[in-house]
Amino acid sequence: MDTLDILAIAAHRDDVEQTCGGTLLRSAAMGLHTASLDLTQGEAGTRGSAAERAAEADAAAKILQVHWRQALDLPDGGIENTAENRQKIARVVRQLRPRVVILPYWQGRHPDHYKTATLGYEACFLAGLAKFETDTQPHRPFKILYASLYADVRPSFVVEITDWMEPRLQALLAYRSQYGHQSAGQGLFVPEEEIRERTFALARTYGLLGGVRYAEPFVQKEVGLIEDLMRIPVQSI
């Protein structure tokens, strides 16, 4: 594989499609190389099996045009920030050598999601240590971002995804075991007939913040740097 530009790390298959799928699509259209790492395989999900989720993830990856996608074997519903798990992710970071890593936001309803935020960050740090597995070259991503679509926080910035809303939705709907009509988990999952409306409405909300039609939100912990005041986007008044 050529040098990787963006690696999205998520707890579950379909998390990336929900939170930053449009950004991955836009990045691929710009000629950037993208990848997705799912930490679990979906064996504990209310709907579907691990095998079904694997096939659906492969189908979604083709729609998202990612160059690489794999899943680790961390327990679904039981992700923990352990040395072993940090090492597993760090090996992938060293293998792919991304410049940008996208993680879930560090607060949320599902413990797997917010634990992945800390676990992913610490794995990226570990990957840059020279004495960690000295048979591979150290690598530390330049930028770590947090996909905050479902977090009640003000984003640091948004990425316009207007031209990629339809394939973004199709990547999500590739998970038929999760979003097709079925009785299991009816009180937890969005009804199939509402998925499109909710997906577009949420993206529209963040698009309005950035002065565009549809967008996905992100948070960065560090202060941004502007060199030219005349080129700052988004009108103030």
140-177 pLDDT, tens per residue?
A: 999 999 999 999 999 999 999 999 999 999 999 999 88
- Please give the mean pLDDT across all residues of the chain: 92
pLDDT on residue 191: 72
Q: Where along the chain do its domains lie?
A: 6-231
Phi and psi, residue 219, nearest 5°: -120, 140
Alpha-carbon distance of 169 to 217, in angstroms, equals: 16
Going through 39-137 in order, the beta strands assigned E by DSSP cover 68-71, 100-104
d(CA 212, CA 204): 8
Six-digit token string for 2:
């050529």
| Interior/surface letters 24-58, b for 16+ CB within 10 angstroms, e for the rest | bbbbbeeebbbbbbbbbbbeebebbebebbbbbbe
CB 165 within 8 A of CB 159: no
Local confidence band at 187 (pLDDT 50, 70, 90 cut-offs): low
What mean pLDDT comes out for the span 197-203?
A: 95
Topology of domain 6-231 in CATH is: Rossmann fold (3.40.50)
pLDDT digits over 45-103, tens only? Answer: 666 688 899 999 999 999 999 999 999 999 999 999 999 999 999 999 999 999 999 99
pTM of this structure:
0.93
